């Protein structure tokens, strides 16, 4: 039985979409304000190592915020500190530690938690904490991969409390990137089109997806990707909802597209197989994706961590 709460909403956000921090973006350039946040008695920092956030796993998993005033013990240079925003009155920061070995296993953070892959832990965290973790991971990963100016090649420096990079030579500012991706459920009557990539677990099918290109609308990208990957022509495209996907910096834009043809010709570089499935087949496979772990090889949909799961659920609800 599907209920409305299963569709992402402000009260029940999609995974990585629940970040409630006040980003206080207008204060990032205000050095006095940022210094006051850094010296706030309750300011905390979330350490990252190897792109994994520090998680407290004592009881239910939660972000292992550390008092910022203790930062000097394990990271004396705070120039790389990333200001994430305000949690009520509490300033929240993140920092990437670049030690060779795991500092939570045999370093300064021993006993403070465990560094866990963001994708692995996300569904066990609160919606807010998963959203904060996604935000921090994307920006930290961007810093690591954008050390040099794309304009002149000089080494860049962090600025705006860790939220931009600046070139000391040509003065170009570089902002964290977000890569738009269209992801779409193609439907025709009571059937929908799903595809599988060779890398998927056995039996799993999902919605088609692809990066939106420069100068392209979301709707055009949907129609192009569907045609390229499956040979199916589509007409009306409806935007449904979106999801930040921090691996490394995608924004998934979920749509439902109406098919006007049925004969499938897959792009074998992208897909191993694609097919039309009935509403009943999909409903059963969706429940399986929640209630039984992959590995049985049976037809299944993506896990609820993925926007594709919610697009499929939204269509089932619409057509109920």
> What is the contact surface with Zn ion in residues (CB under 5 A)?
149, 151-152, 154, 167, 169-170, 172
- If the CB atoms of residues 14 and 149 are measured against Zn ion, the closer one turns out to be 149
In whole angstroms, how close is the CB of 155 to Zn ion at the nearest point?
A: 9
- Dihedral (CA of 6, 8, 11, 14) sign: positive
Taking only Cα atoms into account, the Rg of the chain, rounded to an integer number of angstroms, comes to 22
In whole angstroms, how close is the CB of 146 to Zn ion at the nearest point?
A: 12
Question: What is 123-154 written as a DSSP string?
Answer: GGS-HHHHHHHHHHHHHHHHHHH--B-TTT-P
- If the CB atoms of residues 151 and 292 are measured against Zn ion, the closer one turns out to be 151
- If the CB atoms of residues 39 and 173 are measured against Zn ion, the closer one turns out to be 173
In whole angstroms, how close is the CB of 254 to Zn ion at the nearest point?
A: 37
- If the CB atoms of residues 166 and 219 are measured against Zn ion, the closer one turns out to be 166
Structure tokens given for 211: 């990066």
- If the CB atoms of residues 110 and 171 are measured against Zn ion, the closer one turns out to be 171
- If the CB atoms of residues 168 and 297 are measured against Zn ion, the closer one turns out to be 168
Query: In a 3-state reduction of DSSP, which class is residue 118?
Result: helix
| 85: Cβ contacts below 8 Å, ≥ 6 apart | 21, 22, 23, 24, 91, 92
| 201: Cβ contacts below 8 Å, ≥ 6 apart | 294, 295, 300
Give the span between the Cα atoms of 151 and 231, in whole angstroms: 39
Any idea what the Cα angle at residue 180 is, between residues 225 and 238, rounded to 5°?
A: 60
In whole angstroms, how close is the CB of 154 to Zn ion at the nearest point?
A: 5
In whole angstroms, how close is the CB of 98 to Zn ion at the nearest point?
A: 23
In whole angstroms, how close is the CB of 149 to Zn ion at the nearest point?
A: 3
């Amino acid at each position: 039985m599907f209920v409305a709460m299963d569709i992402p909403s402000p009260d029940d956000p999609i995974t990585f979409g629940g970040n409630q921090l006040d980003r206080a973006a207008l204060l990032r350039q205000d050095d006095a304000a940022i210094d006051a946040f850094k010296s706030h008695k309750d300011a905390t920092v979330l350490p990252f190592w190897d792109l994994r956030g520090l998680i407290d796993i004592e009881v239910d998993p939660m972000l292992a915020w550390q008092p910022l005033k203790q930062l000097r013990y394990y990271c004396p240079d705070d120039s790389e500190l990333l200001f994430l925003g305000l949690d009520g009155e509490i300033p929240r920061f993140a920092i990437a530690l670049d030690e060779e070995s795991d500092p939570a296993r045999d370093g300064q953070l021993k006993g403070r938690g465990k560094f866990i892959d963001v994708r692995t832990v996300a569904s066990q965290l609160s919606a807010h904490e998963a959203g904060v973790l996604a935000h921090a991971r994307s920006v930290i990963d961007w810093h690591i991969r954008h050390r040099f100016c794309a304009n002149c090649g000089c080494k860049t420096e962090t600025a705006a409390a860790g939220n931009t990079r600046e070139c000391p030579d040509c003065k170009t500012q570089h902002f964290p990137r977000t890569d738009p991706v269209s992801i779409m459920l193609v439907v025709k009557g009571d059937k929908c089109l799903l595809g599988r990539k060779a890398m998927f677990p056995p039996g799993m099918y999902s919605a088609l997806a692809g990066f939106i290109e420069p100068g392209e609308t979301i709707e055009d990208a949907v129609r192009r990707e569907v045609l390229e990957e499956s040979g199916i022509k589509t007409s009306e495209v409806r935007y449904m909802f979106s999801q930040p996907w921090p691996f490394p910096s995608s924004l998934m834009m979920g749509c439902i597209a109406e098919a006007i043809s049925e004969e499938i010709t897959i792009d074998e570089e992208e897909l191993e197989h694609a097919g039309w499935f009935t509403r009943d087949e999909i409903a059963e496979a969706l429940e399986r994706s929640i209630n039984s772990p992959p590995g049985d090889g049976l037809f299944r949909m993506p896990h609820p961590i993925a926007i594709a799961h919610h697009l499929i659920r939204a269509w089932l609800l619409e057509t109920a």
